[in-house]
A and B are shown apart, each in its own frame.
Chain A
Amino acid sequence: MTRPASITPRAQVLRGDFLKGWGIPAFRGAGPLLGLVLWLASTGEVEAAKIGDLAQVRWTDQAIRFITLADPAVRYACLGTVLLGVSCGLLGSFLVVRRMALLGDALSHAVLPGVALGFLWNLQKDPLVIFVGALAAGLAGAASVALITRTTRLKEDTALGMVLATFFGAGLCLMSMFQRLPTGNKSGIDTFLFGQAAALGPGDVGLMATVAGLVVVTLALGYKEFLLVSFDPGFARVLSLPTRGLERLLLLLLAFAVVSALQAVGVVLVSAMLIIPAATASLLTDRFHRMLAWSAAIGALSGLAGAFLSFLGTRLPTGPFMVLSAGVLFGLALVFAPGRGLLPRWLRQRSNRDRVARENTLKAIYQVLEAGGFTSESVPLEALAARRRVAVSEARSETRSLVVAGFATVVGDAVLLTPSGWQRACAIVRNHRLWELYLTHAASIAPDHVHDDAEKIEHVLGEATVRELERKLPKIDVDPHGRPIPSIPVPAAVPRSGGGAGERPVGYGGRRP
């Protein structure tokens, strides 16, 4: 393995200058030692970056390698992304319910200078050193936000936006200094921008496992305290809870989670792993403990999916694929979530619309029959169309949906109600006329003003409300326009009137005056 001869002196110059700038002369002239460290670091680096560097791989081979978990690198990548998904998902839930999503963004961007300085410390990818550097930078960022909001009139979102950009800019400046370093070292720090799960080593995964364990144990122990501090901090203080300590603990855990996740998902997108799984979880449940569980599961799943997808190609960054997977899961939840998803809601609305349309057709049929004094039992489609003020073809399609629902049969160009259709028609006309009667009687509204309101209310009156109306109204036989209010026939007890009752699909017998 050959390496350009200029590596060591250039790195040494850079490092010496940098430390001199910070007034640490003690480290100057450590050239030979530094060279040794650098050599060790770069061999370790080649080992770690090998998976991503393989050229000319077939994605099917990669997929098989991933799924069989044969490769230790794959095992580390899987374990790491699952752990990061869990800790980010859990802590992100707190950010989402407290409407502090931007804090995650600011914290994750603010760690970049710490990552760069952590690198600079010994010019190698030592997880612990980078962890400490990033943590310090992240907490310095959070402290700056607190300082700005406390001492100026600027609001928190402004402070977060400024700190986020400034720290990130500082980090980029520091990193651009590494661009002059030889490739072996540079690739290590690149993974921190967009993430490279394949580059995770046992040290990284150990750190992530420690953080995830810490997060899970802390939240399990202090669930009720963190819940109360998030929901109603004033009340928490009246209960003498150590609110400030709890807040700081939460922030510290958040910084831990962000920093430990950096290598796998990258500085730029780690905040998305805090927010998206938690947002998805909030679509699926309205209890906080279930939201935590969902969020952790979705975070782990997105992490795994991102690791898998980035593994299929060569040198693909993990972060974007991870966030993309989380986004897709969110989209699925948005559309399909039971009860609140767009699709269930749309289906509900559509079935409601269809029901209202059917009921309006039934009502029109009743009115045609009523106009004819109930002498005929079949209604010609033309008469129905005229009543509904639609074309005959439309009336035909309307009756077809009644037939499908079992409310009517069509014989030639006429429609006949079945017993259940007749019952439903009576109910809807009864609702309409009872409501009109109630409005004129109880609310003293003029009879010519009540029809439009009743047109809407007739479809939503429940059985209990109808009973209530019947109790409240003194006379329920005639509506304000002088038309009789039908009672609802009981199908089993329909007395057939007149001859040939056996063939008739309709019975009027339940109607009382």
Chain B
Amino acid sequence: MTPDASATLGDPPLEIHDLTVAYRDKPVLWGVDLAVPAGKLIGIVGPNGAGKSTLIKACMGLLPCASGWVRAFGKPMPESLGRVGYVPQRESVDWDFPVSVMDVVLMGRYGRIGLFRRPTDEDRRIARECLERVQMLPFADRQISNLSGGQQQRVFLARALAQESDLYFMDEPFTGVDAATEASIIALLQELRSRGKTLLVVHHDLPTARNYFDWLLLLNMRVVAFGPTEQVFTPDLLQKTYGGRLTLLSEVAEAVRARAQ
């Protein structure tokens, strides 16, 4: 084992072992094993229903796991959540909610502010800085329903930046974003990566995935491949990821469900 390899093995930002997640007794993710290296921009790609969002939600403990464990920075995930940033899917919240852009970005600071305390001027300064980095500072006082889809996405990104985390999970941060904004977001993500942050980004567009990410996780109910983009982005592996449903797994899942009922 080279020294380099052993360095990666010591306290990786994210380590998943035998993770299985089920919805109503029907497994959507089977036995996922992953050791994510630090300082990489990683794309999670796969067909619809492959369990991409499920994987990151299960990692953060938002979904119950049927089996397996998740560790971050050498500790069980719940203890490391303070170092985890999250960009949920845009549809996960009600954008008619009566809050301003600034209110939402400040929410990224809540974990650091602590229970029952008020945001300080320093928190507001950081929130403004994060808004500036996604070019949304002019909209700080606007109510969030008066934003375009791409602007809403950037507000979520700013909120995650305000968390000042080391490991980021992002669920489709490019949906509803125009090409120019997409380019500026990816530049921002690459800058975070170059500062040693680790980012896992659920992405649905295969052609751009190749250019955007250092590493790719090909997912279809199980890990098809995980590695540097140039090694993983091959016709053979992509065919394995996208080529039809996994009939045998689906059938077994159906049988398990039938027996459980």
Alpha-carbon gap, A286 to B88, bound state (A): 23
Q: Do the beta carbons of B88 and A234 come within 8 Å of each other?
A: yes
Residue of A nearest to B88 (CB): A234
Q: Do the beta carbons of B116 and A222 come within 8 Å of each other?
A: yes
**A99 part of interface (Cβ distance < 8 Å):** yes
Q: Do the beta carbons of B111 and A240 come within 8 Å of each other?
A: yes
**A492 part of interface (Cβ distance < 8 Å):** no
The verdict on A238 contacting B86 (CB below 8 Å), with A224-B118, A232-B107 known, is: yes
Mark A282-303 against chain B: 1 for CB-CB distance below 8 A, else 0. Answer: 1001111001000000000000
- Residues of A with C-beta under 8 A to B159: 235
**B69 part of interface (Cβ distance < 8 Å):** no
Alpha-carbon gap, A241 to B84, bound state (A): 14
**B229 part of interface (Cβ distance < 8 Å):** no
**B99 part of interface (Cβ distance < 8 Å):** yes
**A350 part of interface (Cβ distance < 8 Å):** no
- Residues of B with C-beta under 8 A to A97: 94, 97-98
Which of B57, B86, B113 interacts with A224 by CB under 8 Å? B113
Alpha-carbon gap, A232 to B156, bound state (A): 11
Residue of A nearest to B159 (CB): A235
**B61 part of interface (Cβ distance < 8 Å):** yes
- Residues of A with C-beta under 8 A to B98: 97, 282, 285-288, 291
The verdict on A235 contacting B88 (CB below 8 Å), with A240-B111, A286-B98 known, is: yes
Least CB distance, A13 to chain B, in whole angstroms:
51
Q: Count A-B pairs with CB separation below 8 Å.
A: 77
Alpha-carbon gap, A221 to B145, bound state (A): 27
Q: Do the beta carbons of B113 and A240 come within 8 Å of each other?
A: no
Alpha-carbon gap, A346 to B116, bound state (A): 44
Q: Do the beta carbons of B81 and A238 come within 8 Å of each other?
A: yes
Q: Do the beta carbons of B110 and A238 come within 8 Å of each other?
A: no
Give the size range of A's interface with the partner: 20 to 34
Interface positions of A from 428 to 447, Cβ below 8 Å from B: none
**B120 part of interface (Cβ distance < 8 Å):** no
Least CB distance, A159 to chain B, in whole angstroms:
18
- Residues of B with C-beta under 8 A to A240: 78, 81-82, 111
**B202 part of interface (Cβ distance < 8 Å):** no
Interface positions of B from 193 to 240, Cβ below 8 Å from A: none
Least CB distance, B105 to chain A, in whole angstroms:
12
Least CB distance, A337 to chain B, in whole angstroms:
14
Q: Do the beta carbons of A232 and B100 come within 8 Å of each other?
A: no
Alpha-carbon gap, A316 to B62, bound state (A): 52
Residue of A nearest to B87 (CB): A235
Alpha-carbon gap, A222 to B115, bound state (A): 7
Residue of A nearest to B142 (CB): A286
Q: Do the beta carbons of A231 and B93 come within 8 Å of each other?
A: yes
Q: Do the beta carbons of B94 and A227 come within 8 Å of each other?
A: no
Least CB distance, B238 to chain A, in whole angstroms:
31
Q: Do the beta carbons of A231 and B110 come within 8 Å of each other?
A: no
Least CB distance, B167 to chain A, in whole angstroms:
11
- Residues of B with C-beta under 8 A to A291: 98
Q: Do the beta carbons of A241 and B116 come within 8 Å of each other?
A: no
**A496 part of interface (Cβ distance < 8 Å):** no
Which of B97, B99, B107, B115 interacts with A235 by CB under 8 Å? B107
Q: Do the beta carbons of B116 and A286 come within 8 Å of each other?
A: no
**B60 part of interface (Cβ distance < 8 Å):** yes
Which of B84, B104, B115 interacts with A238 by CB under 8 Å? B84
**B48 part of interface (Cβ distance < 8 Å):** no
Q: Do the beta carbons of B143 and A232 come within 8 Å of each other?
A: no
**A228 part of interface (Cβ distance < 8 Å):** yes
Least CB distance, B173 to chain A, in whole angstroms:
14
Alpha-carbon gap, A237 to B115, bound state (A): 13
**A477 part of interface (Cβ distance < 8 Å):** no
Q: Do the beta carbons of B97 and A287 come within 8 Å of each other?
A: no
Interface positions of B from 140 to 162, Cβ below 8 Å from A: 143, 145, 159
**B119 part of interface (Cβ distance < 8 Å):** yes
Least CB distance, B101 to chain A, in whole angstroms:
12
- Residues of A with C-beta under 8 A to B61: 237
Alpha-carbon gap, A230 to B118, bound state (A): 18
Q: Do the beta carbons of B92 and A234 come within 8 Å of each other?
A: yes
- Residues of B with C-beta under 8 A to A232: 88, 92-93, 107
Q: Do the beta carbons of B110 and A99 come within 8 Å of each other?
A: no
Least CB distance, A425 to chain B, in whole angstroms:
35
Q: Do the beta carbons of A227 and B99 come within 8 Å of each other?
A: yes
Q: Do the beta carbons of B143 and A241 come within 8 Å of each other?
A: no
**A239 part of interface (Cβ distance < 8 Å):** yes
Nearest 4 pairs between A and B by C-beta?
A239-B111, A286-B143, A238-B86, A221-B116
Enumerate chain A interface residues (CB-CB to B < 8 A): 97, 99, 221-222, 224-225, 227-228, 230-232, 234-241, 282, 285-288, 291
Q: List 8 A-B contacts (CB under 8 A).
A: A231-B94, A231-B97, A235-B86, A235-B88, A235-B159, A238-B81, A238-B84, A241-B115
